[in-house]
Amino acid sequence: IYDSFELNNRVKIPCVAFGTYKAAEGKTAGVIGTAIEAGYRYFDTASFYGTEAYLKEAMENSGIPRDEFFIASKVWKDEMGYENTKKAFHATLDRLGTDYLDLYLIHWPLPEPGYTDWKALDLDTWKAMEELYKEGLIRAIGVSNFLPHHIENIWQNCEIYPAVDQIEFHPGYSQEAVLSYCQDKGIQVQAWSPLGRARLSEESLILELAEKYGVSAAQLCLRYALQRNVIPLPKSSSIERMKQNQDIFDFEITMEDMYRLATMPQTGWSGEHPDRERV
Ligand code: A2P
């Protein structure tokens, strides 16, 4: 059923991405190359990850045309602001060896904990991104780790609405308030750490349901994201698991089981992150 989702500007986006944060340090280009071999075309990177140059190398080695890839990157905290964002964006393009991005996100709403002037900084950053979008250098623009009040600041003051919010999301950390806010507004939610950083696979409910559906714990978690209309960004260093993580289209979690997964005890990492504090 799923192949791609459609963003609020009509751009089609694959519904599973490959995450490149901490992608096997030392052999990152190889891992990304393997992910291309395993069938991934949507790669999520960020200037902060240090993986853009490896992604460039892997894309070049693959011989696959640029327009078959969907490439997303993010502006880091110390690159925010009108001028800095434009500079950072062009540096990202250079490192990726491309002349456009499919998606560009503000990585975090606040440059540092307790920063009180974040509203103006976010808006200046957004303004630069809107201009790059209008110049045709970015196909869609969005945010990451934004809570509703951070998005509201942009929503009330922007020309182009954010297309995406990328947040920590997995069974046991569904951030329902962010999810429903975004889905009401037509903002596509994406899941970082969709496998809940591995410990989730030891939870009895996950094990019970994985067995019931005859899938792995990882596949169950990824399918959970899809059925909430959330794009998961799994990462792995093994080709078998890379393939397994895309093989999530031929089973369906029942409504009742979805509810059980959504209402598991909630433990996320970003909930305690100081950058998330309200100002
Ligand atoms: P590995 O590279 O050995 O496959 P997250 O994206 O939530 O942070 O999780 C990433 C971790 O999950 C990686 O350490 C990765 O390890 C592991 N992982 C990825 N896919 C699977 C899978 N299908 N089954 C088990 N572990 C997986």
> pLDDT digits over 206-250, tens only?
999 999 999 999 999 999 999 999 999 999 999 999 999 999 999
Which amino acid residue places its CA nearest to atom 16 of ligand 1?
236
Low-confidence ranges of the chain (pLDDT < 70): 1-2, 24-25, 197-198, 269-279
Would you call 213 a catalytic residue per the annotation? no
pLDDT of residue 22: 83
CA–CA dist 132, 89 (Å, integer) = 9
Distance CA 271, CA 267 (A): 8
Task: Give this complex's ipTM.
Answer: 0.96
Strands (E) in the chain, as ranges, are 4-6, 12-14, 18-19, 42-44, 70-75, 103-106, 141-144, 164-168, 188-192, 230-232
279 close to ligand 1 (CB < 6 Angstrom): no
21, 40, 42, 49: the active-site residue: 49
Region for 157 from its dihedrals, namely left if φ exceeds 0, alpha if ψ lies in -120 to 50, beta otherwise: alpha
pLDDT at 1: 46
150 annotated ligand-binding residue: no
Q: What is the pLDDT of residue 198?
A: 62
Query: Exposure string (b/e) for 96-123, b if CB count within 10 Å is 16 or more?
Result: bebebbbbbbbbbbbbeeeeeebbebbb
238 lines ligand 1 (CB under 6 A): yes
**Nearest alpha carbon to residue 32 among 3, 52, 12:** 52
Half-sphere exposure of 119 (CA within 13 A, CB side): 10
Q: Determine the pLDDT at residue 279.
A: 33
Q: Which of 20, 31, 195 to mutate to test the pocket of ligand 1 (most atoms within 8 A of CB)?
A: 195
Residue whose CA lies nearest to ligand 1 atom number 6: 193
Please give the number of the atom of ligand 1 that sits closest to the Cα of 219: 23
* Span from the CA of 196 to the centroid of ligand 1 (angstroms): 9
Give the predicted TM-score (pTM) of the model. 0.94
| 84 touches ligand 1 (CB under 6 Å) | no
Q: Quick one: what percent of the chain has pLDDT higher than 70?
A: 94
Compute the distance from residue 35 Cα to the ligand 1 centre, in Å.
13
| pLDDT score of 154 | 98
Burial class (CB in 10 A: 0-12, 13-18, 19+), 163: buried
Task: Give residue 156 CA to ligand 1 midpoint distance, Å.
Answer: 38
